[in-house]
Structure 1
Amino acid sequence: MFGTHYRIERKSIMLAVAIMVVASIGGLIEIAPLFTIDDTVESDPKMRVYTPLELAGRNIYIREGCYACHSQMIRTLQDEVERYGPYSLAVESKYDHPMLWGSKRTGPDLARLGGKYSDQWHTAHLKNPRDVVPQSIMPRYNWLSESQLQTKYLGDDLRALRAVGVPYTDAMIENATADAVAQASPDDDTAGLVKRYGEATQIRSFDGDKGTVSEMDALVAYLQVLGKLSDAAHQPPAPTK
């Protein structure tokens, strides 16, 4: 075997052809399944998009490196399903750019976190994790409550996501800044926000301070919607043909 390999190495053209053949085989193995993706990936026509406030929270989540310790992908293992809920489906990350599946779990998986804890719990936990989980090694993010959320460019964020397939409308893009403020200001007029994003939109002061819209508002709003944009994972499996 080694003798054949050595002979191929001495012939540059033969070596190049051999490399191309091996690379082509690997490429076909990776590319071929993509031709059947419409048949293998679930669909959910009722799936909601992130509101501007939730999207801003997701951006903060990425900025602060939360994905380095928390995955958002529940595997099909029985112990994971029993702890976290139904295993993750591809369609649930349809509008995630980039996706945050991951495999690192210094902290627990967050794919089904939405609604599990109260806003007050999340705010206290982010300010000082050891106040609610004494054994936690998570760093503090107390400054998020004091940092005003920058909403000026949220429309640009929505426009960029629409370019890669997220179905944001012109009205959503035009009103992105106002909608982000409205979602964290329950005493303001929120009719337009609900019209654009649906009755399931969570509207309240997420950090408990109605006077400002902070980065804490945005991050908690994002955490509270994880696992709630689609109910595909909770539906019975489709009958096999």
Structure 2
Amino acid sequence: MPEAHRKLERNAIGFVLAIIGVSAIGGLVEIAPLFTIHETVETAKDMRVYTPLEVAGRNIYIREGCYACHSQMIRTLRDEVERYGPYSLAVESKYDHPMLWGSKRTGPDLARLGNKYSDAWHVAHLINPRHVVPQSVMPRYGWLMRNEVRIDDAGQHLAALRVVGVPYTDEMIANATKDAYGQANPDSDQAAGVTQRYGEATNVRTFDGEPGRLTEMDALVAYLQVLGHLTDAAYKQTSSAKE
């Protein structure tokens, strides 16, 4: 075998062809499953897209590196399912760009975090994690309450996501800025349009506890409160399995 390898290395054309052959095999193994992806990814008729405020919150989540310590993928292992809830389905991350499943957990998995805790709990936790979890090693994010979130470009973010396959309508894109404000200000004129465009189950409330002012805390908490609730597919699958 070593002698054959030496001969191959001395034959430039043969070595190039061998590299191409091995690369082609590796590429085929990686690409072939994509042709049957429609058979492996579940469908969910109740799947909804992120609202403009939730998109802004997700962008902040990525900016602050939250994904580095919190995965958003519950494995099929029994201990994970018992601790976090139904295991993650591919369809639940259908509209995630980029994907944030991850494998590193300094903190708990957040795939089913939505509405598990109150908005006030999240605000307190982000301002100083030790106030609610004494043993936490998570850093503070108090500036989120001071920073106003930028929403004037919300429509551009939605338009960009539509390019990669997220089914935002022209109406959603045109009203993105209004909807971002309305979702965190339930008493405003813009609030009704949010549920009209994104569904009655959409969280519309003052996430950071300070009405009239839209902060990065509003956006991040809005995002955290929807994790695991874009569709009920995982819960329905769990119920079917028990039956």
Please indicate, yes or no, whether the TM-score normalized by the shorter chain is above 0.5: yes
For the aligned pair, the TM-score class normalised by the smaller chain equals over 0.9
Match of 2:54 in 1: 54
> Could you tell me how far 1:211 is from its partner in structure 2?
2.8
SS at match of 2:109: coil
> Could you tell me how far 1:157 is from its partner in structure 2?
0.1
Residue deviations 1:173-210 (CA, integer Å, cap 9, x gap):
11111101100001112221111111011111001001
Alpha-carbon distance between aligned partners in 1 of 2:178 and 2:152, rounded to the nearest angstrom: 10
Alpha-carbon distance between aligned partners in 2 of 1:192 and 1:184, rounded to the nearest angstrom: 12
1:1-241 to structure 2, matched below 5 A, reads 1-189=1-189, 190-236=191-237
Q: What letter matches 2:102 in structure 1?
A: G
Q: What letter matches 1:231 in structure 2?
A: D
Alpha-carbon distance between aligned partners in 1 of 2:155 and 2:115, rounded to the nearest angstrom: 27
Residue deviations 1:61-114 (CA, integer Å, cap 9, x gap):
001110111110111111111100111111100000001000010111100000
Contiguous gaps of at least 5 residues in structure 1? none
> Could you tell me how far 1:9 is from its partner in structure 2?
0.6
SS at match of 2:195: helix
Residue deviations 1:6-40 (CA, integer Å, cap 9, x gap):
01111011111111111111111111111111111
SS at match of 1:140: coil
Alpha-carbon distance between aligned partners in 2 of 1:194 and 1:134, rounded to the nearest angstrom: 37
TM-score, scaled relative to structure 2: 0.96
> Could you tell me how far 1:236 is from its partner in structure 2?
2.9
Alpha-carbon distance between aligned partners in 2 of 1:5 and 1:223, rounded to the nearest angstrom: 55
Identity of aligned pairs, percent? 69
Residue deviations 1:136-189 (CA, integer Å, cap 9, x gap):
010000110111111110000000001111011111111111101100001112
Number of residue pairs matched by the alignment: 239
Alpha-carbon distance between aligned partners in 2 of 1:144 and 1:61, rounded to the nearest angstrom: 11
Alpha-carbon distance between aligned partners in 2 of 1:122 and 1:236, rounded to the nearest angstrom: 29
Q: What letter matches 1:234 in structure 2?
A: Y
Alpha-carbon distance between aligned partners in 2 of 1:116 and 1:156, rounded to the nearest angstrom: 31
Q: Mean alpha-carbon deviation: is it higher for 118-127 or for 13-22?
A: 13-22
The answer to whether the 8 Å contact 2:71/2:109 transfers is: yes
Q: What letter matches 2:68 in structure 1?
A: A
> Could you tell me how far 1:131 is from its partner in structure 2?
0.4
The answer to whether the 8 Å contact 2:119/2:207 transfers is: yes
Alpha-carbon distance between aligned partners in 1 of 2:225 and 2:193, rounded to the nearest angstrom: 21
Alpha-carbon distance between aligned partners in 1 of 2:34 and 2:185, rounded to the nearest angstrom: 44
SS at match of 1:236: helix
The answer to whether the 8 Å contact 2:182/2:192 transfers is: no
SS at match of 1:114: coil
Aligned CA RMSD, in angstroms, stands at 1.2
> Could you tell me how far 1:222 is from its partner in structure 2?
0.3
